[in-house]
Structure 1
């Protein structure tokens, strides 16, 4: 695992909202932990000699800066929602896609009626594409996430007016 791979992993974990991640391969063992609002602490224990501790100090400043911005942007969107709407939320961490490929139309658009079980989007997680189905019947009022952007667990994706 290269230093750039480790940096990307730490950045992904910091945006995911997870407090602890452990990854172990035959060559490398990585444990990343985050406590409260402090920057995450990463411990690297390579089983083979490799210059991997260097990215840890670099990762801490870049990780701590985006986290408050993400947290600040989410609450501002929540109060704007009306109380009679139902929110379809992300069941996992991954990348949100509105359609199955760039050439195909979106699964749903604002104003479309959806029924319970209808696919509304896809979330890619670890090279797997997971279809996300509506848990409620109603009309799509608002799409809360831009196409091809990362989403976190339990992040609101759509507002639905139940029927």
Structure 2
């Protein structure tokens, strides 16, 4: 493969939404990857900075360019100091990702405040790396509070639901 073709291929991959590309042709093996989706989110959204911090090796240059105050201001986003402490059984996020209240945009939410739930019942979904992970109730009871908004980024261990 000629150098001009390789350069054209690099530009095509850079301009696309691809995050990884592999080409094997005889003895020639070309592998390219781009972390631009994470980089764009981290630069545009302070919530994503915390997500990116868990993957520092992939986005270290971005983290160095983000003001430290943006990271510190976001540290307490899960629980405001002006709110009363949470009481009851707390269901926390088992992973970092995006919370969805329903299985699709036109579907009803899995649960609403006041709904009775049983242990193992799906309360919502957290999407991480294009995988949909069901968040199940760990308790029997009634949904007292839903602490996250639909399509909100959630952190590992962030309180999401209060069940009484």
CA gap 1:108/1:67 in 2 versus in 1, 3 angstroms: same
Name the CA shift for 1:102/1:93 in 2 (closer, same or farther; >3 Å): same
Q: Is the 8 A contact 1:14 1:63 kept in 2?
A: no
Partner of 1:103, secondary structure, is: coil
Are the equivalent residues in 2 in contact too, given 1:95–1:150 (CA < 8 A)? yes
Change in 2 beyond 3 A, CA 1:131/1:78:
farther
Residue 8 of structure 1, aligned match among 40, 47, 52: 40
Going by fraction, where is helix more abundant, 1 or 2?
2
SS at match of 2:133: strand
Counterpart contact for 1:110–1:142, Cα < 8 Å: yes
Q: Which runs of 5+ in 1 are unaligned?
A: 23-29, 33-41, 43-55
* Gaps in structure 2 of 5+ consecutive residues: 1-32
Residue aligning to 1:133: 136
Pairwise CA RMSD: 2.7
Structure with higher Rg: it is 2
TM-score by length of 1: 0.66
Out of 119, 123, 126, the residue aligned to residue 126 of structure 2 is 123
Q: What number of residue pairs does the alignment pair up?
A: 129
**CA–CA distance in 1 between the matches of 2:137 and 2:128?**
19
